[in-house]
Amino acid sequence: MPISISIKADGDSAIIQLFDHLLGYDKQAMFDEIGAYGVSSTQLRFVDQSGVDGNPWKQSWRAELQKGQTLRDTGRLMNSMTHNVVDSGVEWGTNVEYAAALHYGAHILPKTGQYLVFNVAGNWRKVKEVVNPPRSFLGINNEDDEEILNIIGRHLSG
């Protein structure tokens, strides 16, 4: 299930109408910069191992065994973050199918049989369930709010 965040302004909103009338204003360039910032901020959470709220993620069993980082085994999720400028805003996120289960958390039960069987770091595990705690990586916090406003300010002033 893909997961993303979108910043959109209603096409009829006073803000968009004001933006459209400002001389030299390139809203597509502004949205592109906001999207690039959003991707960078999201990827930094993987590096810092902390959620949108700034709290550290609970370390995964795999990361503990391998003395690695949570959600960074292959780097696929972190490196899949991208942004897309749309007519009235920008969105960023990932199309990685397991992203939502990692972001929101998940309770995984076997579909058939009594156990889930998997290999982590050369160790086979047989468990009745896996409870994956939420590890938020996609969202906007106060620091992001401030930077997005700075980007808008730079584009409107110059």
Dist. CA 100–CA 94, nearest whole Å: 9
Residue 63, in any domain of the structure: yes
Predicted TM-score of the model (pTM): 0.81
Residue 26, in any domain of the structure: yes
pLDDT digits (tens, 9 = 90+) for 21-30: 665 578 889 9
Whether the Cβ atoms of residue 89 and residue 31 lie closer than 8 Å to each other: yes
Dist. CA 89–CA 67, nearest whole Å: 40
pLDDT digits (tens, 9 = 90+) for 122-158: 889 899 999 999 999 999 999 999 999 899 888 878 6
pLDDT of amino acid 59: 95
What's the average model confidence in pLDDT over 91-112?
94
pLDDT of amino acid 19: 60
pLDDT of amino acid 68: 93
Residue 125, in any domain of the structure: no
pLDDT digits (tens, 9 = 90+) for 40-83: 999 999 999 999 999 999 999 889 988 999 999 999 999 999 99
Count how many domains the chain has. 1
Dist. CA 15–CA 32, nearest whole Å: 18
Categorize the per-residue pLDDT at 16 as very low, low, confident or very high, splitting at 50, 70 and 90: low
Whether the Cβ atoms of residue 48 and residue 78 lie closer than 8 Å to each other: no
Is a pLDDT exceeding 60 seen at residue 11? no
Residue 119, in any domain of the structure: no
- 15 or 157: whose pLDDT is higher? 157
What are the phi and psi torsion angles at 41 (to 5°)? -65, -40
Strands 116-120 and 106-108: unpaired
pLDDT of amino acid 8: 62
Is a pLDDT exceeding 60 seen at residue 5? no
Long-range contact list for 115-119, CB < 8 A, 24+ apart? none
Residue 108, in any domain of the structure: no
Long-range contact list for 64-70, CB < 8 A, 24+ apart? 65/120, 65/121, 65/123, 66/121, 70/135
Q: Which residues contact 133 (CB under 8 A, 6 or more apart)?
A: 57, 58, 105
Residue 33, in any domain of the structure: yes
- Domain of 31 in residue numbering reads as 3-103+135-157
Residue 65, in any domain of the structure: yes
pLDDT of amino acid 38: 97
Residue 75, in any domain of the structure: yes
